[in-house]
Amino acid sequence: MSRAAHPDAMSPAEPGRTRTAPPQKPASWPSHPRMRVYTLFGWTGVLYLLIGFGLLETAWSLGQGEVVWDAKLASFSHPAYVAFHLLCLVSVVFVAVRFFRLFPKSQPARIGPAKPPPRPVILAGLYAVWLGVTALFVAILSGAIFS
């Protein structure tokens, strides 16, 4: 671009017929239950960041030798680690349930000539797959499968 754009270049040619109201915060903003849920959902991202750092630290200790790795594994039994991992589990379940509630609403009204199944059927299928995958991972991690 050879020169700066004119400041009014994107302005409408003539003013609109109605004025828009200035943005304002709702009166019940901090105490509204929906806003608390949104804020809680946003804070789960901080937990995921901490989980990522913990994974990096664990991978780093794996490369430092057997003594450091055994010490890292022993530190996972500390009550603070256990409480953090329980908090992370609750966070993941919270986000998954929110996603499962949103998923049926985002489905198209028609898929070709067929209509999608009702919302309760979609939700039941999502929860069944979730529980099945969870059971599979529990079986693998406990040594019942592939040991």
The answer to whether residues 96 and 62 touch, using CB atoms and an 8 Å cutoff, is no
pLDDT score, position 73? 92
CA 29/CA 45 separation, integer angstroms: 21
pLDDT score, position 1? 53
- Average confidence score pLDDT of the chain: 85
Q: Residues 6 or more apart from 103 whose CB is under 8 A from it?
A: 122, 123, 126
Write down the domain spans for the chain.
Answer: 30-106, 110-147
Interval 44-67 mean pLDDT: 94
How does pLDDT run across 128-147, given as a tens digit for each residue? 998 999 999 999 988 888 77
Q: Report which of 78, 77, 82, 60 is spatially closest to residue 69, judged by C-alpha positions.
A: 60
How does pLDDT run across 86-117, given as a tens digit for each residue? 999 999 999 988 888 887 777 777 777 878 78
For the entire predicted model, the pTM comes to: 0.64
The answer to whether residues 102 and 108 touch, using CB atoms and an 8 Å cutoff, is no
| DSSP per-residue letters across 22-88 | PP---TTTTT-HHHHHHHHHHHHHHHHHHHHHHHHHHHHHHTT-HHHHHHHHHHTTSHHHHHHHHHH
| Terminal alpha carbon distance of the chain | 64
Q: Residues 6 or more apart from 20 whose CB is under 8 A from it?
A: none
Interval 31-41 mean pLDDT: 84
